[in-house]
A and B are shown apart, each in its own frame.
Chain A
Amino acid sequence: NAGVTQTPKFQVLKTGQSMTLQCAQDMNHNSMYWYRQDPGMGLRLIYYSASEGTTDKGEVPNGYNVSRLNKREFSLRLESAAPSQTSVYFCASSEEAGGPHEQYFGPGTRLTVT
């Protein structure tokens, strides 16, 4: 099993460009998450999806949109990138949203916006 995969691994964008970060999991998990990680800030939740067909905002959703394409895939879109969105983006999944469950993280996407 590959676990959680993310593409691309690295990306450089110019201000105003758009892009979609892709995430897929093969663990048959119901819940999926998108985080960003800035130096010294820990992980901050952008959006999450408790189950297929549902999405909810996290702590820092502004400037992002998400799509839960199916049970396996959860994408994050930046419509008009800004330098403040320079960060490392992690996708994660867990068995379900209720009850404490381990979250499994993908390898991350390092995004630079110039």
Chain B
Amino acid sequence: QKEVEQNSGPLSVPEGAIASLNCTYSDRGSQSFFWYRQYSGKSPELIMFIYSNGDKEDGRFTAQLNKASQYVSLLIRDSQPSDSATYLCAPYDNNAGNMLTFGGGTRLMVKP
């Protein structure tokens, strides 16, 4: 059974600060990771996909992957109230294909 762990939060940060969201996973076969964002009452939407060790940057978002430690994080710079949402992590491995196992999500609150 794959396990994907996320702190449920809420993680509260002031506007303009850096928000750091973490995800740990048990399956060493996981090669890459999806980060989805879900606004309250809405459906998830993809914000980042990272497949190699190190950092991947996309605008204010940076994903960091450390396969040896089985740890992936999402940093949001210059956090805005519009970033307030739940962030879901999902590892991808070649054996399971797109049968993703999602973490429980971290709820982020950005206070003006």
Taking beta carbons and an 8 Å cutoff, which residues of A are in contact with B? 31, 33, 40-45, 48, 50, 56, 58-59, 90, 94, 96-103, 105-108
Contacts and interface: CB of A to CB of B under 8 A. Distances in A.
B99 interface: yes
A43 B45 contact: no
B26 interface: no
B100 interface: yes
Nearest to A31: B98
Given A42-B88, A42-B105, A105 B100 contact: no
Interface of B: 4, 6, 8, 32, 34, 42-46, 49, 51, 88, 92, 97-105
20 contacts: A31-B98, A40-B8, A42-B102, A42-B104, A42-B105, A43-B88, A43-B100, A45-B99, A90-B43, A90-B44, A96-B98, A98-B97, A99-B97, A100-B49, A100-B92, A101-B98, A102-B34, A103-B46, A106-B43, A108-B43
By DSSP majority rule, is chain B's interface helix, strand, loop, or mixed? loop
Contacts of A44: 102
Given A42-B4, A42-B105, 7 more contacts: A31-B98, A33-B98, A42-B88, A100-B34, A102-B49, A105-B45, A107-B42
